[in-house]
């Protein structure tokens, strides 16, 4: 049995069990008693008593905070996507005490997320992050948590069809849709961003929208007609993925000429497209909605570019020099070839759309 006594206005609990002797001081007697009971149970279960013992009142939000602090300490600040997921978990699961973070609770969370519209891939990310947070707490801080509950919940949600891989998009814009978009952008004076040129440049270079608005004039090499794209996205390496990309005319749009048109505007001495990427994305989606175009995203321009590069006759080894893909598996999901495009490949002509 633990001994609990009052000293100088505080309650001191001491546990002597199986060769261990551990004590801790609390402001309230009830907290001291709860801590002693939990510690004795841990020792009886042969759990290392030097690990951090978590109160039943501690919440999942406290582990989220631990994880964020750990990332900052090792120089890995949260990126936008991860911050968004952790904020959502804090709102929807943060108040749950660790003792209540059971298999049933996680399955309930998954069912509700699916009911609210979360797809299998989105929910898979949520569950993965929950597992990462618990594992981090156990490994780095010695918190005694039940990571098995996450594994079992993931199995259950997968069998229920609520967790799984993302569906691969096969959407490519038609020529008529692109013509409607360009006419809309060009006829509307409220667009301060040269959206027609941006969309054409995206199809010419396969750059993501944020990459387009990050490239800088000083990295443009006129001799080789290439430009540096800093920190291209790579799931295996978050930073330092700089890539020099050729400015080609193989997709129906001439990347070099488009950039020269942009330079003639003399808008900025630093960035080639000195605008906000988020604003450009919003403008694109607003135009798509106004024109009644169904299910078309700006990121589909990257799919279109990749497909056109293959249709122009570039090889599997050559296309990644433009798109930045690291292997064929990554590249394949961005490639939806059209049967009519084979005529251009076999005749050696450039893609005409």
Domain edges within the chain: 3-44, 60-159, 175-347
DSSP H or E run through 11: strand 10-17
CB 246 within 8 A of CB 259: no
pLDDT of residue 346: 54
pLDDT of residue 58: 75
Q: Which of the residues in the chain have pLDDT under 50?
A: 56, 351
Residues in the chain: 353
Residue 46 token pair? 């042969």
User: Considering the domain 175-347 in this protein, what is its CATH number?
Assistant: 1.10.443.10
Cα gap 58→36, rounded to integer Å: 16
**Which candidate, 112, 110, 117, places its Cα nearest to that of 159?**
110
CB 99 within 8 A of CB 60: no
pLDDT of residue 347: 57
Residue 278 token pair? 């988020």
* Torsion sign (Cα): 181, 186, 191, 197: positive
pLDDT of residue 237: 57
In a 13 Å sphere around the CA of 52, the CA atoms on its Cβ side amount to: 15
pLDDT of residue 349: 52
Tell me: the pLDDT tens digits for 254-270? 999 999 999 998 887 89
pLDDT of residue 216: 96
Cα gap 346→313, rounded to integer Å: 8
The DSSP code for 95 is T
pLDDT of residue 138: 83
**Mean pLDDT (the chain, rounded):** 85
pLDDT of residue 8: 81
pLDDT of residue 118: 87
């Amino acid at each position: 049995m633990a001994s609990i006594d009052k000293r100088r206005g505080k309650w001191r609990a001491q546990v002597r069990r199986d060769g261990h002797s551990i004590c801790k001081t609390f402001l309230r007697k009830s907290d001291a008693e709860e801590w002693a009971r939990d510690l004795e149970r841990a020792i009886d279960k042969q759990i290392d008593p030097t690990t951090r013992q978590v109160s039943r009142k501690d919440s999942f939000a406290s582990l989220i905070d631990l994880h964020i602090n750990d990332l900052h300490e090792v120089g890995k600040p949260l990126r936008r996507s991860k911050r968004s997921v952790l904020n959502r978990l804090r709102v929807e699961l943060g108040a749950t005490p660790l003792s209540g973070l059971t298999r049933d609770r996680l399955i309930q969370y998954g069912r509700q997320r699916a009911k609210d519209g979360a797809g299998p891939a989105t929910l898979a990310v949520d569950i993965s992050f929950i597992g990462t947070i618990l594992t981090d707490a156990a490994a780095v801080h010695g918190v005694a948590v039940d990571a098995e509950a996450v594994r079992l919940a993931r199995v259950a949600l997968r069998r229920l069809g609520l967790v799984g891989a993302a569906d691969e998009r096969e959407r490519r814009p038609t020529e008529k849709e692109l013509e409607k978009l360009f006419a809309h952008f060009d006829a509307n004076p409220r667009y301060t961003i040269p959206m027609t040129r941006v969309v054409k440049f995206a199809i010419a270079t396969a750059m993501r929208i944020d990459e387009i608005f990050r490239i800088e004039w000083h990295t443009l090499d006129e001799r080789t007609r290439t430009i540096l794209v800093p920190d291209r996205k790579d799931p295996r390496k978050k930073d330092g993925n700089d890539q020099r990309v050729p400015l080609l005319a193989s997709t129906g749009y001439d990347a070099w000429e488009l950039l020269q048109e942009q330079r003639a505007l003399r808008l900025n001495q630093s960035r080639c497209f000195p605008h906000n990427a988020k604003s450009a994305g919003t403008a694109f989606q607003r135009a798509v909605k106004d024109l009644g175009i169904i299910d078309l995203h700006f990121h589909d321009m990257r799919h279109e570019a990749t497909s056109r590069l293959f249709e122009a006759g570039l090889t599997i080894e050559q296309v990644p020099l433009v798109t930045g893909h690291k292997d064929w598996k990554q590249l394949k999901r961005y490639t939806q070839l059209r049967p009519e495009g084979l005529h251009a490949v076999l005749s050696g002509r450039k893609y005409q759309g």
